[in-house]
């Protein structure tokens, strides 16, 4: 007879046992969901970090390219300056009588030994003959 009451007691406790099993299952599900959420968050964080690193690398690459362009332009400018001949224009000929038809002043030496600057048109207007011009320009400049 004792077996029957034990059976009934077990039946009475069975819903509690089921509740405990359900609680354990729910805890397991909660833990699993939490693990999945943490894993998702970790993956998202890794993706964000990779994006940031990639952006930083791209910015550095752009800066380096800009520096290279600036250096290349400076080098080209320097090479161009070195390759370009400098032109020095002297408004007076080195030798007297360089040309009667130049548009810049000419040095003329008078018979008295005075040196003056004049323009070829002025010489023509003053009535100086070609022979006088030649003789004036045959002497070296002072």
* pLDDT(89) > 50: no
89-98 own/partner pairs: CB under 8 Å, 24+ apart? 92/117, 94/141, 95/140, 95/141, 96/136, 96/137, 96/138, 96/139, 96/140, 96/141, 97/133, 97/134, 97/136, 97/137, 97/138
Q: What is the pLDDT of residues 55-68, one digit of tens each?
A: 999 999 999 999 99
pTM greater than 0.75 (yes/no) = no
The per-residue pLDDT for 105 is 53
Q: What is the pLDDT of residues 91-135, one digit of tens each?
A: 554 555 555 454 555 555 555 555 565 655 565 555 555 555 555
């Amino acid at each position: 007879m004792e077996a029957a009451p034990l059976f009934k007691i077990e039946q009475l406790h069975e819903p509690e046992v089921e509740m405990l099993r359900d609680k354990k299952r729910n805890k397991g599900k909660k833990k699993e969901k939490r693990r999945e959420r943490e894993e998702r968050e970790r993956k998202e964080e890794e993706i964000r970090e990779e994006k940031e690193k990639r952006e930083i690398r791209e910015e550095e690459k752009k800066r380096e390219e800009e520096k290279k362009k600036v250096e290349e332009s400076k080098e080209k400018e320097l090479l161009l300056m070195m390759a370009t001949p400098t032109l020095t224009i002297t408004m007076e000929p080195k030798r007297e009588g360089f040309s009667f038809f130049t548009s810049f002043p000419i040095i003329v030496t008078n018979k008295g030994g005075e040196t003056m600057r004049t323009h070829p048109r002025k010489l023509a207007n003053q009535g100086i003959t070609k022979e006088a011009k030649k003789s004036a320009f045959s002497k070296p400049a002072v």
